[in-house]
Amino acid sequence: MNVRRNGVDIHYMMEGAGPPVVLVHGVGADLRSWDGVVPFLVPRYRVIRLDLRGHGQSSRITSCSLQDLLDDVTAVMDAESVAKAHLVGFSLGGMIAQAFVLDHPDRVDTVAFISAVACRTEEERARMIERARIVREQGIAAVVAAAENRWFTEEFKRANPERVAQRLSELIANDHASYAAAYQVFAESEIGPRLPAVRHKTLIVTGEHDIGSNTRMARYMHDAIAGSVLEILPGLRHSVLIEAPETIARLVLRHLES
């Protein structure tokens, strides 16, 4: 399915029936990121997942803003007449979820931030901005090896080389300009200082050894958002949707149903 808004086509999928849950993927990925999680949700929920602009089967882009990415979520919800939904975001999708729950609180039931960032140090943001520069000037292939090491544990790489290769191939297959534009938004945007204003039931999840979305950031989010629940996944790095989809699904279900 597709919805067109302001000249941009946004591709999305909808499965299951029940209260709506909207899933938002990370930069350089697409709605397939949630393949391991969705089967656990669809027996009880109406699961809607989208390709952000510049990703998957949505329109290619040369520039965008965080507001544009929020508008992608709004467009899909409006297309399906969803007034209010549970919102779950991974990585860049977590940042989008942070901004969305603050800007559109009346459209969110509960929110979950998975492997998300908040209050990055100057050094952490500088690393991301440098990565965005490398992508613009040299292409996605120039950052693949570093991404593999940030994303996957050594044990998973040894046990699942084909799955790792598949994910890295998906990364390289991204449209160069679209990826660079989205990554620039991810590198330069910061929602952390606004998080104390979140009043929704909130789940925060990150891997113990995730460098980019580290435990310090997760604990900051937890401390900032009253009543939030924090889950640190032992031994994992960034790609928790791939290495531990059943764990993520269990935590999300518990969050939705508690």
Q: Which domain, by its residues, includes 230?
A: 2-257
Domain count, the chain: 1
DSSP category for residue 141: G
218/26 Cα distance (integer angstroms): 17
What SS3 class is residue 85?
Answer: strand
119-160: per-residue pLDDT in tens?
999 999 999 999 999 999 999 999 999 999 999 999 999 999
pLDDT at residue 197 in the model: 99
DSSP category for residue 48: E
C-alpha distance across the termini of the chain, in Å = 32
- For residue 61, the one-letter residue type is I
Residue 66 — very low, low, confident or very high, per pLDDT cuts 50/70/90?
very high
195-249: per-residue pLDDT in tens?
999 999 999 999 999 999 999 999 999 999 999 999 999 999 999 999 999 999 9
Tell me phi and psi for residue 127, to 5 degrees.
Answer: -60, -40
pLDDT at residue 186 in the model: 97
User: Could you tell me the pTM of the whole model?
Assistant: 0.98
Contact predicate 228/139, CB 8 Å: no
> Domain with 196 in it: what CATH number?
3.40.50.1820
Give me the residue label for tokens 């998973």. 156
174/7 Cα distance (integer angstroms): 20
Give me the residue label for tokens 């050094």. 123
pLDDT at residue 116 in the model: 99
Give me the residue label for tokens 């500088």. 126
